[in-house]
Chain A
């Protein structure tokens, strides 16, 4: 079914509900890689790939509209603004203001350290550590304890080098319920 005049104006209709299904599938397939956090851009690329050459084109705005509708299903879909774009959350993990601010700080380089958080946000070490540990536990951050100066906390969702890597067959199996 095409977008239709009202679909586009009011954001309703088959186009967005089908898109919702595709978004869920991509997020499920990549969850173990990025802990359930993905940039809007990477989500966009993966959804386009899944839709194939002859399907209708989809914009990032369309994705945002579809995701907002998915929130009501209770599985933790959410949108987090970072650095001019958005991160899409697809797992029911608690991410409060502290976590969001650290994600925004990490957006520039794809990683963040305790020192950077202390300097930029003027937090105590303990507060910074708690936030980073939570992200680690949720699988949204990976620890590089062998970094030269101090441990670095990397966000797989923000590694642009990993983006647009093909979804493997094993991952695709995760996606189809």
Chain B
């Protein structure tokens, strides 16, 4: 911990923030926070009980910065150049995931910090509120790329003085075009590389699925030859590989059969919620409702959509409707959106004019569906719009009624 220096926490000219994470605790080597046996402390660190409490950990292109959550003035940083290597420590029962950062010895001209000396050459970052996976990935990237070597930084002070000159320095269209082009090339390269691996993987995956299907069949047929124990173990291997229950998929197949059953299930599950919500729900609302109710073996968005597409042909009491905007909803068969439009016209007339937000609050609908209803009313000629920077407002269409 003696490699850290006090800092204002302001990023310097040329330094960019990469990622930040709250709820991170710092500790010196194996010490717990500022436990007994810790090296002599700077007064401010002791006063702020730094490290022991949680803080925000920020990663920039040049430094690792930590600010105490309770005492914002307690802010320390260490240059990334000081890092030798990093390792992950997985979370355990009662223990958060950690990153261990091994550091070079402090340089003699280091700015003052909270610790004057330490018997450890590494520190631990403890992620009390998760975010460890992302942070480790970004930190590894920064250490590999070593961007601090190519981007010189000035002191934060200079930014103020040069602010007048700095603002006029524009990026220019060439600069932006170049950056966009580089990004496009990079994305293309990543995508084609990813697909190379993926196609090899898919071949293996097909083989694996065939293999597990044949074993599943053998289990079904030769029930006597295989012990129950082994059957259970094998099924759990399949589960961990994401092949839910081979029997379910076998019975219903992965095509239309499955979706037909699902559609019928949905009609049962959604009847009451739809009635409670005025007969109409967006597909995202349905997705959340159904999956929250299921808890396990959740539906994929595609499966939900495919099942809903079959509702009408199966003569179920619900149907899927797609508005012009692309928004998809489930309606009760008994629901008539065009009739609701007449009611909406009354509401708008009473108030003179309404935005989608206002209408939604008044009627007790989601903003998404409120907007669709008003747009439908407009399409039918009952309302007209006033599209201004203050928002989209709907008025009764007086052109129609008062010609």
Residues of A at the B interface (CB closer than 8 Å) are: 1-2, 4-7, 9-10, 12-14, 17-18, 20-21, 24-25, 31-32, 41, 44-45, 48-49, 51, 53, 55, 57-60, 69-76, 81, 91-92, 101, 104-105, 116, 119-122, 133, 136-137, 139, 143, 160, 164, 176-177
Chain B residues contacting A104 (CB-CB under 8 Å) are: 176, 180
Q: Are A120 and B242 in contact (CB under 8 A)?
A: no
Residues of B within 8 Å of A105, CB to CB, are: 176
Residue from the list A6, A24, A49, A143 in contact with B242, Cβ < 8 A: A6
Task: Closest B residue to A71 by CB, please name it.
Answer: B301
Query: Known interface pairs A17-B298, A21-B287, A74-B283. Does A58 touch B241 (Cβ–Cβ under 8 Å)?
Result: no
Q: How far is the CA of A92 from the CA of B20 in the complex (A)?
A: 30
In the assembled complex, the Cα of A91 lies from the Cα of B370 at a distance in Å of 13
| Nearest opposing residue in chain A for B127, CB measure | A57
Q: Most chain-B CB neighbours within 10 Å: which of A4, A72, A104?
A: A72
What is the chain A residue whose CB lies nearest that of B237? A5
Q: Which positions 158-197 of chain B face chain A at CB distance < 8 Å?
A: 170-173, 176, 180, 183, 187
Cα separation A9 to B133 with both chains bound (whole Å): 17
11 A-B pairs (CB sep. < 8 Å) = A6-B241, A21-B288, A44-B131, A44-B134, A55-B130, A72-B305, A73-B284, A74-B322, A75-B368, A101-B176, A121-B173
Chain B 345-376 against A: per-residue CB contact (8 Å), 1 yes, 0 no? 00000000000010000000011100000000
For residue A151, give the distance in angstroms from its CB to the closest CB of chain B: 10
A13 touches B242 (CB 8 A): yes
Proximity bits, B116-150, A CB within 8 Å = 1, else 0: 00000000000011111110010000000000000
A73 vs B21: C-alpha distance when bound (angstroms): 31
Write out the residue numbers on chain A whose beta carbons fall within 8 Å of the beta carbon of B205. 6, 9-10
Main secondary structure of the interface of A (DSSP, over half): helix
Q: Are B389's CB and A143's CB within 8 A?
A: yes
- Tell me, in angstroms, the Cα distance from A76 to B96 when the chains sit together: 36
* B391 adjacent to A139 (CB under 8 Å): yes
Q: Nearest B residue to A32 by beta-carbon distance?
A: B357
Residue of B172, B176, B300, B392 most packed against chain A (CB within 10 A): B300
| Residues A21 and B292 in contact in the complex (CB < 8 Å), given A13-B242, A75-B328, A122-B173 | yes
B204, closest chain A residue (CB): A9
Instruction: Choose among A12, A32, A69, A137 the residue with the greatest number of B CB atoms under 10 Å from its CB.
Output: A137
B176 touching A4 by the CB < 8 A rule?
no
Task: Take A120-B176, A143-B389 as given contacts and tell me if A6 and B291 are in contact as well, using a CB distance cutoff of 8 Å.
Answer: no
Q: Which residue of A lies closest to B391 (CB)?
A: A137
Q: Measured between alpha carbons, how far is A120 from B172 in the docked complex, in Å?
A: 5
Asked if A70 contacts B176 (CB within 8 A), the reply is no
Is B130 within 8 A of A177, CB to CB?
Answer: no
CB-CB under 8 A from B91, the residues of chain A are 57
Interface check B325, CB cutoff 8 A:
yes
